[in-house]
Structure 1
Amino acid sequence: MFFLLSKILFYAIMPAVWLLGLLLAAIVVRQPRWQRRLLMACAVLFVLLTNGALINEALLAWELPPVRPAQLPAQSDAGVLLTGITKGSKSPHDRVYLNTGADRLTNALWLYRAGRIRRIIVSGGSGEVGGSKTGRSEAAQLATLLRLAGVPAQDILLEKRSRNTHENALYTKQLLAQHPEIKSLVLVTSAFHQRRALGCFRRVGLHPTPFPAGYYSVNRQLAPVYWLLPDAKALADWSILLHELAGYVVYKVLGYC
């Protein structure tokens, strides 16, 4: 039930849905004064939500800052790569489709190649309602790419049951119970997701070193273009950030992080 409700919440907090709701309300309401107010509110909200500087500043405040590999311990026993970066609804299913969070995978591979982590734990079943359409967990799909990149099979561990961040932490801990030799961890996930993920892992008794990846923010600029020009991508970025903020609050209330 919680899994399904989280998917419904994602659509409820989308800024595009708010704008559509205001427009529909302006059509339905019969009083001209309220119609003008609703349309004005829609226009103001649209200007704010399409301002690239505003969402970038919000992302800069929320995302954890980048970590250089040299700042990590000399060598950790394993890196935990969280999934949520594949497109299961795209066919044909003879390959792996990655979305904008693919830096999670490349950063984990980078740390492995740099000798900062000895093994890679890929954690994630399927985040799709009704289960994976490919018949394979996300962990298995990313493991395929890691193998193609030359990572030996013995250096890859899979956790294939989790459907959300709370379960990522819970089932990873259960997996580690079978591998007592793994004591130090590096947690690799998107920068906007790192706070919640880190809280979940700490809640179950694991204390990984965070390694944020997949940034949505860019460096702050002083040019007027940065502050004034609208950006269509801003609406999508607001959806991602608001969804994560809502998830963080819900997880705090439930005691997951």
Structure 2
Amino acid sequence: MTWFWWTKIFTAMLSPLLWSIAILTVGLRVRKKSTWPIVLAGLILCVFSNPWLFIQVESHWSAKLDTSEWGMPATQGKPIVLLGGMTAIDPDGNLVFQRSSDRLWQALEGYDPEEGPVLLISGGAADGPGEAGLIRDYLTRRGWEGNCLFTETTSTTTYENALFSRALFEVQGWSKDIVLLSSGFHLPRAIRCFEKQGFQVTPIATDPLYFKGSRPMVMKWLPDAEVVMGWHALLKEWAGLAIYQVRGYL
């Protein structure tokens, strides 16, 4: 089993829901009359399903969602690098866009297929067809093909996104002063990876983990299953950051 799959297994275990189930299972098998597994599992779920707490943490960590920068001097004319991780292939071979596909729709706001700037979609697959190529084919079928659309279809990690993008930029002679699009919670690691490879990065964040729109205060305290999923994504990102730091990718 490759390092890629070991890290996937490890990060899959960083789920508050999985922790709660494991605690209940172990506790009930070891001491059937004890109440501590129920209390501890309930406490974990209460903490990691609280919208207000998650909003505070995610707001401090994630890059701010602000797509108004398109057309401003900070982004105008710069090559756009769009990171993958937004699609899946169903059992019938169909391309399925997932939640993080907001990255793609936001990238198209700043891209013209004929006039540019360069749009590089970076993302491969551990097995099967490369994601970037599938997205390119999707855009081509809808008339978005152009001389400024490029793909990097080999990378399977954020580190490889940056490494293989650098190689392509050097071959093409493009400026390494880029606009980088990814999910807001993922950008802190992605920015450091690309800067490590010699890029100057203007980030644009997409798809926040939890919608922070106006809602009654009571709704911010009621348990929400979406928050549990958000914590899983955030914990995986922090683990990835620690692993990259140890391996010298940042």
| CA displacement at 1:210 relative to structure 2 | 0.6
Between stretches 179-188 and 189-198, larger displacement belongs to 179-188
One-letter code aligned to 1:75: Q
State the partner residue of 1:92: 92
Unaligned ranges ≥5, structure 2: none
Q: CA–CA distance in 2 between the matches of 1:107 and 1:117?
A: 15
Instruction: Work out whether 1:156 is the aligned partner of 2:155.
Output: no
Question: Contact conserved, 1:72 with 1:209, CA < 8 A, in 2?
Answer: no
Matches within 5 A, 1:1-257: 1-30=2-31, 32=33, 35-67=34-66, 68=68, 69-73=70-74, 75-88=76-89, 90-93=90-93, 95-113=94-112, 118-126=117-125, 128=126, 131-132=127-128, 136-219=129-212, 223-257=216-250
1:117 to 1:242, Cα distance in 2 relative to 1, 3 A: farther
Question: Contact conserved, 1:60 with 1:217, CA < 8 A, in 2?
Answer: no
| CA displacement at 1:207 relative to structure 2 | 1.6
| CA displacement at 1:36 relative to structure 2 | 1.5
SS across alignment from 2:150:
strand
Q: CA–CA distance in 2 between the matches of 1:253 and 1:46?
A: 30
Q: CA–CA distance in 1 between the matches of 2:116 and 2:240?
A: 29
1:225 to 1:148, Cα distance in 2 relative to 1, 3 A: farther
| CA displacement at 1:226 relative to structure 2 | 2.9
| CA displacement at 1:111 relative to structure 2 | 0.9
Q: CA–CA distance in 1 between the matches of 2:206 and 2:106?
A: 7
1:37 to 1:20, Cα distance in 2 relative to 1, 3 A: same
Q: CA–CA distance in 1 between the matches of 2:72 and 2:184?
A: 16
One-letter code aligned to 1:76: G
Question: Contact conserved, 2:113 with 2:144, CA < 8 A, in 1?
Answer: no
Q: CA–CA distance in 2 between the matches of 1:54 and 1:115?
A: 45
Q: CA–CA distance in 1 between the matches of 2:39 and 2:26?
A: 12
Deviations 1:163-208 (A, max 9, x none): 1000000000001111114343110111111111000001111122
Q: CA–CA distance in 1 between the matches of 2:114 and 2:106?
A: 12
Q: CA–CA distance in 1 between the matches of 2:72 and 2:237?
A: 26
SS across alignment from 1:66:
coil
Over the matched positions of the two proteins, sequence identity in percent amounts to 27
SS across alignment from 1:197:
helix
Number of aligned residue pairs: give it.
Answer: 247
Q: TM-score, structure 1 length as denominator?
A: 0.88
1:190 to 1:115, Cα distance in 2 relative to 1, 3 A: farther
Q: TM-score, structure 2 length as denominator?
A: 0.90
Between stretches 57-66 and 187-196, larger displacement belongs to 57-66
1:191 to 1:241, Cα distance in 2 relative to 1, 3 A: same
1:221 to 1:150, Cα distance in 2 relative to 1, 3 A: same
SS across alignment from 2:205:
strand
Root-mean-square deviation (CA), in Å?
Answer: 2.2
Q: CA–CA distance in 2 between the matches of 1:109 and 1:203?
A: 26
One-letter code aligned to 2:9: I
